[in-house]
């Protein structure tokens, strides 16, 4: 399992860790501001600048590393809800903001720097506490395609496999499906499978027809067996398997073009450096 459920909400582990880190940073900086009331305004200002620096730097770092994907779809750079942040780039940007604060001899520099350390510690502890098991292989089961033909999931072809778990009632699934199918059609050495969870053929066919999407690669998992097999708790969920069938990584929630292409490259026989 690589996600956390809080009431009706499901967060991928990485996003949940980021939320905890941001909350810890804001709480620590607020406590410092109340302790040093004369410097409260400066602490708030530099804390906000540091936080924004981290977010913007992390996003720009990810965009720079996946520039080809964003050139193809420039507006995706603003789709931050899909994820896609480079932690080291964000940390360097935040450090640069703090350095400016220290060079200006701002009384807020040390409290904000300490708040950043608190956030880092909170993120690390949360990461250790969360389950993040990636043990698993492509299950040796068969599922029906849209014609009723039974298709085996076993990786006899020796290709990397991307397994997308989705449903028609899921808005993020509906949004990402056209992009994922476009990429699937362009793949020569990676198989992308779309396993619908828990819906009948008529419902699936109606959605595909309205969205003008092909039925190629669509399998039906009416009992949600794959979600149970891998302990996934939210849709969409995308699982990435190496050519030997071993699970390498997962993604919970809507996936961006850049993230999908990056993860496909990571499971290819000659991954990108």
Instruction: Show Cβ contacts of residue 63 under 8 Å, excluding neighbours closer than 6 positions.
Output: 70, 77, 84, 258
Angstrom CA distances, 35 to 38, 41, 45, 101, 118, stand at: 9, 12, 16, 19, 16
**Which CATH number is 154's domain given?**
3.40.30.10
Q: Which two tokens stand for residue 84?
A: 């896609």
264 has pLDDT over 70? yes
- What is residue 1's predicted lDDT score, i.e. its pLDDT? 62
pLDDT at residue 64, as a whole number: 96
Split into its structural domains, the chain has a count of 2
The model's pTM: 0.86
Q: For residue 112, what are the CA distances in angstroms to 24, 120, 131, 150? A: 12, 12, 30, 59
Check whether 28 has a pLDDT greater than 80: yes
Q: Are residues 104 and 194 in the same domain?
A: no
Share of the chain above pLDDT 90, in %: 78
C-alpha–C-alpha distance, residues 59 and 56, integer Å:
5
pLDDT for position 273? 44
Tell me the per-residue pLDDT of 88-137, one tens digit each, with 9 for 90 and over.
999 999 999 999 999 998 889 999 999 999 999 999 999 999 877 677 89
Bridge partners, 194 (sequence order): 164, 218
CA distance 211 to 178: 8
Nearest-CA neighbor of 241 among 156, 182, 179?
156
* Domain assignment of residue 172, yes or no: yes
- Final residue of a domain: which of 104, 129, 154? 129
Rounded percentage of the chain residues whose pLDDT exceeds 70: 97
Q: Which residues contact 68 (CB under 8 A, 6 or more apart)?
A: 261
Examine the domain organization and report whether 262 and 148 are in the same domain: yes
The 10s digit of each residue's pLDDT in 133-175 is: 677 899 989 999 999 999 998 866 789 999 999 999 999 999 9
| Region 214-239 average pLDDT | 94
Angle in degrees, CA 215, 219, 224, rounded to 5:
140
| pLDDT for residue 225 is more than 80 | yes
Look up the domain containing 86 and give its range.
3-129
Last residue of a domain, one of 105, 129, 153: 129
| In a domain? residue 112 | yes
Whether pLDDT at 188 is above 90: no
Q: What burial letters (b/e) apply to 225-237, b meaning 16+ CB within 10 Å?
A: ebbeebebebbbb
Q: Is there a single domain that holds both residue 175 and residue 214?
A: yes
pLDDT band at 81 (very low <50, low <70, confident <90, very high): confident
What are the CB-based long-range contacts (under 8 Å, 24+) for 135-144?
A: 135/247, 136/229, 136/230, 136/246, 136/247, 137/241, 137/245, 137/246, 137/247, 138/163, 138/241, 138/245, 138/247, 139/225, 139/226, 139/229, 141/225, 143/195, 143/219, 143/220, 143/221, 144/219, 144/220
* pLDDT score of 199 more than 70: yes
Residue at 213 is within a domain? yes
- Which burial class, exposed, middle or buried, applies to 66 when counting CB atoms under 10 A from its CB (0-12, 13-18, 19+)? buried
| Structural domain contains residue 206 | yes
Q: Are strands 161-166 and 142-145 parallel, antiparallel or unpaired?
A: unpaired
Examine residue 23 and state whether it is found in any structural domain, yes or no: yes
In a domain, residue 235? The reply is yes
**What integer best gives the mean pLDDT of the chain?**
92
Task: Say yes or no: 97 and 194 in one domain.
Answer: no
Same domain, 114 and 149: no
Which tokens belong to 162? 């991307």
């Amino acid at each position: 399992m690589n996600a956390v459920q809080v009431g009706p909400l499901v967060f991928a582990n990485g996003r949940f860790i980021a939320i905890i880190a941001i909350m810890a940073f804001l709480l620590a900086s607020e406590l410092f501001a109340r302790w040093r009331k004369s410097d409260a305004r400066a602490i708030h200002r530099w804390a906000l600048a540091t936080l924004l620096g981290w977010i913007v730097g992390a996003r720009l770092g990810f965009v720079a590393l996946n520039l080809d994907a964003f050139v193809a779809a420039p507006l995706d750079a603003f789709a931050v809800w899909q994820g896609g942040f480079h932690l080291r780039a964000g940390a360097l940007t935040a450090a640069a903001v703090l350095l400016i604060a220290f060079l200006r001899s701002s009384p807020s520099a040390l409290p904000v720097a300490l708040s950043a350390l608190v956030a880092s510690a909170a993120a690390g502890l949360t990461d250790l506490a969360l389950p993040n098991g990636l043990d698993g292989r492509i299950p040796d089961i068969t599922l029906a395609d849209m014609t009723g033909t039974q298709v085996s999931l076993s990786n006899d072809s020796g290709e990397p496999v991307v397994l997308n778990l989705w449903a028609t009632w899921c808005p993020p699934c509906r949004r990402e499906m056209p992009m994922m199918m476009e990429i699937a059609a362009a793949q020569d050495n990676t198989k992308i499978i779309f396993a619908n969870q828990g819906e009948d053929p008529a419902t699936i066919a109606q959605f595909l027809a309205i969205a003008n999407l092909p039925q190629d690669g669509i399998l039906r998992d009416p009992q949600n067996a794959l979600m149970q097999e891998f302990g996934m708790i939210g849709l969409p969920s995308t699982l990435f398997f190496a050519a030997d069938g071993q699970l390498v990584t997962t993604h919970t929630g809507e996936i961006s073009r850049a993230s999908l292409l990056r993860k496909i490259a990571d499971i290819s026989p000659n991954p990108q450096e």
